[in-house]
Amino acid sequence: MKKILVCVIVLLQFLQASARSNHGVGIHVRKLDVAHRAHFARYHHAADADIKSNTLRSNLMHRDTLQTGTTKSPSERFLNGVKRSHMRINRLENHLIKQLGVESEAAGYSESPVTASTGEYVMELSLGTPPQKFSTIVDTGSDLTWVQCSPCSVCFEQPNPLFDPRASSTYSQTKCDNGLCKILQEGLFVQNCKGGNTCNYTYSYGDGSNTLGVLSLETVTLGSSSVPDVGIGCGHSNQGSFAGADGIVGLGQGSLSLPSQLKPSIAQIFSYCLVDLSSTASTSSPITFGDARENSDAKYTPLVANSLAPTYYYVGVEGISVGRQKVEIPDSAFEISEMGSGGVILDSGTTITYWMSEAFTPMLAAFREQISYPETNAGSYFLDLCYDISNAAADGSLNLPSMVVHFTDVDFEIPMPNLWVLVEDTGSVVCLAMAESEQFSIIGNIQQQNNLIVYDVVNQRVGFKPVRCDGSNG
């Protein structure tokens, strides 16, 4: 039966946040040839003089908090996020089916097989000299960083003015023989960009969203620190589900991603700490590039290689516990197949967590065995498991099991507030914030809340540390 990509929605506001949370299989990272290495050495040597520390810091905001004109409730933000998550996982699954995509029909253009245009968190950065400010979706499932540029033949609505390359003294276009353009071509197995021609690209997403433009070099500013000659996409024709942002920051493992291009000045490590999605609109989530001090006491699990999908951050899962019960799940439910399907991805842009049916079905049974509240119609909420908790909510005695994901070397506890969501404003119904997937499993951002998540490509691992991301002690 085709996937049930269900819908989920409002985090328990009255539940106390508590979280709990150790190293590696190699990851697949494309090696740069001598020419490519020379490009990075030439341009990023200059960056050393501008960066006074080994880290760059910025903030993440939930994308729905940035849209003007209306004030969205937490339930509306969750519902919007879940709808985007369903589209996102559909794209990811379609991409795995198609695998590496197809060659573009437009002469001189390279077409991307990237599949996730949606995302939940937006990061502020500036481009150019003098700096022009933008709000960009952070995406751990893609590599290219791009913004809409003027002149623009087709553009979606965005919160800030278009990037104007003519107003920047540090902007330049790349040619087809440039190392960065070659990385883009080789990664896509496209050979139609030649010599000294301008490096035009088409970055297409599974739902028809796309950006078409020129691969360029520009100064990127985060906070008070600037890095020159970072490869970015300058999109002159863009359409799709990007509303609420000016573009995308690619945080994947590929050579074109922002973390990869920041090295060697900044280590290819980044971390974020997502605040509760029911937090006020003014509450931001910190994101750090580089080997920050706070990363040292995180517990790490190895990254796992998937040569057919090398951009994504796969992690090894050895089992799942619901409450105190270890759920009987076959190892195959978490393994990557020879065709590239399966496995477990850690992702910033998906709201809820999806499990392949081999894991999801016995997991649901384990929850049902341990919960005594009356089960209610989950279908009306587009979910799989919901309970009427009106009596418990009234007297404050709510008791629902937590869950532990047993990563390799790390037991990652998902506490009640990150697992169960309110779907009624009255607080009378809660539903499990997880759904079923056909092609792979994915750990969503609700389950990551109030944890420091460290993507350490240098040491081929991902770290977890429970912490109050809003800085409070409560």
Q: Measured between alpha carbons, how far is 135 from 124 in angstroms, rounded to an integer?
A: 5
Q: Locate all alpha helices (DSSP H) within 51-118, ordered by sequence.
A: 74-98
Token pair in block for residue 53: 């520390």
Half-sphere exposure of 277 (CA within 13 A, CB side): 36
Domains of the chain, residue spans: 34-266, 297-466
Give the amino acid at 308. L
Q: DSSP letter string over 159-174?
A: SSPPB-GGG-TT-EE-
Amino acid letter, 379 = G
- The domain defined by 34-266 folds into Cathepsin D, subunit A; domain 1 (2.40.70)
The answer to whether the CB of 441 falls within 8 A of the CB of 334 is yes
Q: Which residues have a Cβ under 8 Å from the Cβ of 377 and sit 6 or more positions away?
A: 386
| CATH number of the domain located at residue range(s) 297-466 in this protein | 2.40.70.10
Q: What pairing do the DSSP bridges indicate for beta strands 56-62 and 121-127?
A: antiparallel
Residues in contact with 230: Cβ distance below 8 Å, sequence separation at least 6, in sequence order = 145, 217, 218, 219, 220, 258, 261, 262
Cα 444 to Cα 434: distance, rounded to the nearest angstrom: 9
Point out the residues of the chain with pLDDT beneath 70.
1-53, 64-71, 75, 79, 95-119, 187-191, 205-208, 243, 280-282, 393-395, 472-474
Q: Where are the alpha helices (DSSP H) in 401-470?
A: 445-448
CA–CA dist 320, 344 (Å, integer) = 13
Residues taking part in catalysis: 139, 347
Question: CA angle, corner 231, sides to 89 and 175, nearest 5?
Answer: 115
Residue 192 has what pLDDT? 72
Distance between CA 388 and CA 392 in Å, rounded?
9
What span, in angstroms and rounded, lies between the C-alpha atoms of 474 and 294? 19
For residues 32 and 242, is the Cβ–Cβ distance under 8 A? no
Backbone angles phi, psi at 288, to 5 degrees: -130, 135
Instruction: Please report the pLDDT score of residue 170 as a whole number.
Output: 98
Same fold, 34-266 and 297-466: yes
Question: Residue ranges of the alpha helices (H) in 204-257?
Answer: none
Contacts of 395 (CB under 8 A, 6+ apart): none
pLDDT score at 46: 32
Contact 25, 460 (CB under 8 A): yes
**Of 156, 164, 155, 180, which Cα lies nearest the Cα of 126?**
164
Helix (H) or strand (E) holding 405: strand 403-407
Instruction: List Cβ neighbours of 98 (8 Å cut-off, separation of 6 or more).
Output: 113
b/e 367-400 (16+ beta carbons within 10 angstroms → b):
beeebebeebebeebbbbbbbbbeebbeeeebeb
